[in-house]
Structure 1
Amino acid sequence: MSAFMAELVGTALLIILGGGVCAGVNLKKSFAQNSGWIVITMGWGLAVAVAVYAVGQFSGAHLNPAVTLALAFNGDFPWADVPAYIVAQLLGAIIGATVVFLHYLPHWKETDDPGVKLGVFATGPAIPNRFANLLSEMIGTFVLVVGILAIGANKFTDGLNPFIVGFLIVSIGLSLGGTTGYAINPARDLGPRIAHFFLPIPGKGSSNWQYAWIPVLGPALGGSFGGLFYKAVFVGKVTAAFWYVLIAIIVVLAITFVQQTKTTTYQQTKNALM
């Protein structure tokens, strides 16, 4: 199996199991309906573990553009291979989301809320706030990448690493996922969101494209910095990229904060005049 196909298949498997647990918990007349956040986080953790077990030997099982970028910035992965990996991950995510749609085919008509249907495919904020939401995705993905690299630096019984990474996903979901649904993976959010837009889902409503940039840019920046931070602090090698990415994060957060402040002020003024 080629690395491209491995990333495609692995990411598809990730979304089938991860998106599948979201569908099972949220769609009406599913036996798993209302089983809660812990079930969702466990489902995603096991999804990551299974996907890594499936394709790790062929591609390293990045399954996430943020991980691919982090490894490239660290010098552990060739930049020339980055575009192909990201394309494979995005295509795999679209395919995986389509399989989830087909698997739960009769449940879409039974579910009235368009937001619930979108939540099966893509993430969204518990409290809409662009600055806070972006920061949450950065922090979550930073922890993901640092955690993956830290796990990889330890010795486990052969074959146990993917399972431990799965528990890292569960931990991030339980501790940090309540704010934005913890995309922590641009392909995981963007691919299924594209699928949601094109699939004939009854009463699906908007794909919420105005939010879509946050679970793409946040993880990309947070993950990249996580890899560079690990190299600087744990390995003791500070590169120029560390400072470039840190500056980019500060600039993006500053711009987002100013925009969010203007939006909040406008909304408060509008409400006062009503």
Structure 2
Amino acid sequence: MSSSDIFIGETIGTAILILLGGGVCAAVTLKASKARNAGWLAITFGWGFAVMTAVYISAPLSGAHLNPAVTVALAIKDGDWTNVPTYFAGQLLGAMIGATLVWVAYYGQFHAHLTDREIVGGPGAQATATKAVEAQEKGAGPVLGVFSTGPEIRNAIQNLATEIIGTIVLILAVLTEGLNDKGNGLGVIGGLITAFVVVSIGLSLGGPTGYAINPARDLGPRIVHALLPLPNKGGSDWSYAWIPVAGPLIGGAIAAGIYNVAFA
């Protein structure tokens, strides 16, 4: 496959991934959304279906890495780093496009949520406002969770370990079950399997950090959150942002090492 195919495929696929994955977070979080308070099950299955859809769309062009941790793991497995920068560029751009499209799709809901005194504080605000203020003091604004992940308990070692462990599970599944016939990414059946793996990771390991398990998935939307003209949006929590980038990359490298020792 050509570099242009890789870049276009990863851009489109990652944009779809974030549009649908960030979209379910917006649907569950924002005021005036029909799905508000649908809960963690909705989020985990929404992200799983987002992975499946993005893989089906992008696999013919790029092999559907859609995740720098997958790209790094495949490069370690195969010893070929030639197209890694192209994959990374498409993934980050696609993640930013997808996050922007979530904002467009939920524009009215973002405005209603971020101008509500119960959410952002002000006279008459109740416990929700107190919680939002506490979150902002930690660097996370009241809608950052629509865009990026954050920990329930801030412990850098635990948070990093959680992201590493979750990514190892994901990457081992990709390497052992989800490679297409060219061996360069996910195929159709691999996409379905990986979608259910992502749901499983979310249900079992997503509680502590929100399971980024994908550096582009977290960093691209966090950049968009920082740039968008959202009223009362609060901070983008840059002090935490290194963990959902470093953790998945480390996890991907470890998984590739495990694969090369145990399965290759």
TM-score normalised by the chain length of structure 1: 0.81
Q: Distance in 1 between matches of 2:61 and 2:242?
A: 30
Q: Which residue of 1 aligns with 2:207?
A: 178
Percent of residue pairs bearing the same amino acid type: 55
CA-CA distance at 1:153 after TM superposition: 6.9
* Residue 69 (structure 1) aligned with residue 72 (structure 2): yes
TM-score, length basis structure 2: 0.84
Pairing of 1:1-274 with structure 2 (within 5 A): 2-75=5-78, 78-111=80-113, 112-113=119-120, 115-152=141-178, 159-235=188-264
For residue 22 of structure 2, what is the amino acid of its counterpart?
A: G
- Deviation digits for residues 132-183 of structure 1, max 9, x if unmatched? 000000001011000112223799xx94331121001000000001110000
Alpha-carbon spacing, 1:209–1:64, altered in 2? closer, same or farther (3 Å): same
> What is the rounded CA distance, in whole Å, between the counterparts of 2:22 and 2:230 in structure 1?
15
Change over 3 Å in CA distance of 1:34–1:5 after alignment to 2: same
Closer, same or farther: CA 198–153 of 1 in aligned 2, 3 Å = closer
CA RMSD after TM alignment: 1.7
Aligned residue identity for 1:84: T
Q: Distance in 2 between matches of 1:94 and 1:65?
A: 14
| 1:59, distance to aligned residue in structure 2 (A) | 0.6
Whole-Å Cα distance in 1 between the matches of residues 102 and 142 of structure 2? 14
Q: Which runs of 5+ in 2 are unaligned?
A: 114-118, 121-131, 133-140, 182-186
Residues 170-215 of structure 1, C-alpha deviation per residue, up to 9 Å, x if partnerless? 0000000111000000000000000000001111000000000000
SS in 2 for 1:207: coil
Corresponding residue SS for 1:79: coil
For residue 240 of structure 2, give the secondary structure of its aligned residue in structure 1.
helix
The 8 Å contact of residues 96 and 224 in structure 2, kept in 1 or not, is answered as: yes
Give the Cα–Cα distance (whole angstroms) in 2 for the partners of residues 148 and 85 of structure 1.
16
Distance 1:39 1:117 in 2: 17
> Matched residue pairs, number?
232
Contact 2:178 2:191 in 1 (8 A): no
Measure how far apart 1:80 and its partner are: 1.6
Q: Which residue of 1 aligns with 2:129?
A: none
Which one-letter code corresponds to 1:80 in the other structure? T
Contact 1:173 1:182 (C-alpha < 8 Å) held by counterparts: yes
Q: Give the structure 1 partner of residue 124 of structure 2.
A: none
